[in-house]
């Protein structure tokens, strides 16, 4: 995933948290902020140390990025998405992560 599609700066995260809408399920919290002037979507990931050690956290982040990569044609552009992973994600396989993340994206009306 290219750098321009990622949210990295704390100010950008805080803007999404304050102004965006949130949707959640047991595994993820998703914040969505409209950015109509932006011709693409961006994602920010938050995987805390409660999830596990670095290897586990990095695997979870890879899984989330892969889901967005596969679903990029369906995900609405002009929005910023911040995904917060919850503890149950640590023990899940890729297909379970995918199913759960697609569920939360559907609930947030993030698909075309």
Tell me the pLDDT tens digit for each residue of 10-54: 999 999 999 999 999 999 999 999 999 999 999 999 999 999 999
Could you tell me if residue 5 is inside a domain?
A: no
CB neighbours of residue 16 within 10 Å:
21
Distances in whole angstroms, Cα of residue 48 to Cα of each of 51, 62, 75: 6, 14, 25
Question: Please, which pLDDT band fits residue 4 given cuts at 50, 70 and 90?
Answer: confident
Question: Is 4 a member of any domain?
Answer: no
Q: How many domains does the chain have?
A: 1
How do residues 58-92 score in pLDDT, each as one tens digit? 999 999 999 999 999 999 999 999 999 999 999 99
Instruction: Give the domain CATH number at 69.
Output: 3.30.230.10
* Ramachandran sector of residue 16 (left: φ over 0; alpha: ψ -120 to 50; beta: rest): alpha
The residue segments making up the domain with residue 47 are 10-108
* Whole-prediction pTM: 0.92
pLDDT at 3: 83
């Amino acid at each position: 995933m290219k750098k321009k599609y990622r949210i990295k700066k704390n100010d950008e995260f805080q803007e999404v948290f304050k102004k965006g809408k949130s949707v959640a399920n047991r595994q993820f919290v998703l914040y969505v902020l409209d950015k109509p002037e932006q011709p693409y979507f961006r994602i920010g990931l938050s995987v805390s140390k409660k999830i596990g050690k670095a290897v586990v956290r990095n695997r979870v982040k890879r899984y989330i990025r892969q889901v967005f990569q596969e679903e990029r044609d369906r995900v609405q552009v002009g929005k910023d998405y911040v995904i917060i992973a919850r503890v149950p994600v640590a023990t899940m396989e890729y297909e379970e992560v995918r199913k759960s993340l697609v569920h939360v994206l559907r609930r947030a009306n993030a698909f075309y």
